[in-house]
Amino acid sequence: MKYLSGVNITDFKSIPDHDENSYTFIDDHIGNNEVSDSDFTYLLKLLENKPDRLILEYIRCESIKEYQNSVMMLPVWAIYSAYEINAIVPYTPCGPKYSIFNFIINKDRGNRRRLLEQLIEHNLYTDTYTLCWDSGLGSYPSKYWGNEVPVGQNFIRNNTNENNKNSKIYNAFLRENVFEPSYISIITEPEWFRHDTFITEKTLFAFESQTLPIWFGGYNIPYYMKDIGFDIFEDIIDHSYQNLLDPYKRMDYSIIKNKHLFENINILEKFYQDNIHRFESNKRLLRENILTRYIDRELIRFNHWPESVKNDIRNIYKRFF
């Protein structure tokens, strides 16, 4: 197997000619320039010559749709993260909720800056959030990241080189201070500009903490989460934003279409109490790692791949342990 990750994520020239027992796994979202398709354009050129046995860590990738039958789509990091949550986070009842919404921002990306601008424009404020830089917007200063909160900063920085750092941070800090107290999680996944579907632990934490998920920028994520088995609460959340082609409208309308929820905690409280079994069901599905269905589906779709390759893929998420 050829494995591309981190700084080597776009080292497409190193993709080898495959023998009968090999494949290439590109582990991460593609491209550091968020508002450019240049990296995907380069990948497309390579796929013209080497279209077989390539795995991308996406659920769906419209950027290379003409090669969908040649490229396996597996959200491997999310699958691993679900196992990680099950191993690290105690399976206990959710704590009391008192905050309308939460968000976590651990890296500076275009969709996350726009989220802050949208929240301020609509006069929406919360204390249950993390922010890794001083936004300069006044209402949302850096929080749970700098020197003012040692448990936030020190725990995060002391675990940055561990694969299981995200679930450790969630269990030690974010669970009690950010996620579980909230009714809504605004999720800012890293892939937001293109028409591609990519999830990380951010989506999983929303289900684990029994919150209503709203994806700010992600393309068709609600559709695919429902398709795999999660309840996305369409009877209270308007997810019609999810397939808007304009990424900026897709982000903005996730707030605009649901603004009434952000302004009335009584609606949220009643809905949660009346439907707590549905939130608990999402948490249970996450703990059972329903995401492994993606592996099963893709192995059926690529049944013609060599058996040795398929056996390796069945346990591909374990490379992170």
At 51 the pLDDT is 56
125 with 139: CB under 8 angstroms?
yes
Q: What is the phi/psi pair of residue 47, to 5°? A: -65, -25
| One domain for residues 110 and 160 | yes
pLDDT at 149: 46
Residue 21 sits in the same domain as residue 157: no
Give domain status of residue 87, yes or no. Answer: no
What's the Cα-to-Cα distance from 226 to each of 194, 230, 233, rounded to whole Å? 21, 5, 9
**Do 187 and 233 share a domain, yes or no?**
yes
218-273 confidence digits (pLDDT tens): 899 999 999 999 999 999 999 999 999 999 999 999 999 999 999 999 999 999 99
Residue 37: beta bridge partners? none
Residues 67 and 184 in one domain: no
Of 100, 69, 134, 75, the C-alpha closest to 305 is 69
The answer to whether residue 6 sits within a structural domain is: yes
Query: Concatenated DSSP letters for 66-124?
Result: GGTTTEEE--HHHHHHHHHHHHHS---------EEEEEEE-S--HHHHHHHHHHHHTT-
Rounded to whole angstroms, how far apart are CA atoms 264 and 254? 17
Domain-located, residue 229: yes
Whether residue 279 sits in one domain with residue 297: no
On whether both 71 and 125 belong to a single domain, the answer is no
Q: Is residue 192 part of a domain?
A: yes
State which H helix or E strand residue 208 sits in.
helix 201-208
Position 226 scores a pLDDT of 98
Q: Is residue 165 within a helix (H) or strand (E), and if so which, with residue range?
A: helix 165-169
Both 218 and 101 in one domain: the answer is yes
Residues in the chain, pLDDT under 50: 147-152, 160-161
The domain tally of the chain equals 2
Q: Supply the DSSP symbol for 57.
A: S
β-sheet with 24-27: strand ranges across: 2-5, 24-27, 54-56, 71-73
On whether both 50 and 150 belong to a single domain, the answer is no
| Residue 86 falls inside a structural domain | no
Same domain, 263 and 313: no
What integer pLDDT is reported at residue 234 of this predicted model?
A: 98
Look at residue 22 and tell me if it is in a domain: yes
CB contact at 8 A, 291 and 272: no
pLDDT at position 151: 47
Structural contact between residues 292 and 79, judged by C-beta atoms closer than 8 angstroms:
yes
The structure tokens listed for 171 are: 């269990």
Domain match, 294 and 161 both = no
69 burial class (0-12, 13-18, 19+ CB within 10 angstroms)? exposed
- Rounded to two decimals, the pTM is 0.91
Q: Look up residue 315 and give its two tokens.
A: 């346990």
Query: Is the same domain home to 122 and 63?
Result: no
149 and 257 part of one domain: yes
Domain that holds residue 309: 2-78+290-320
Whole-angstrom distance, CA of residue 302 vs CA of residue 136: 49
pLDDT of residue 320: 66
In a domain, 135, yes or no: yes
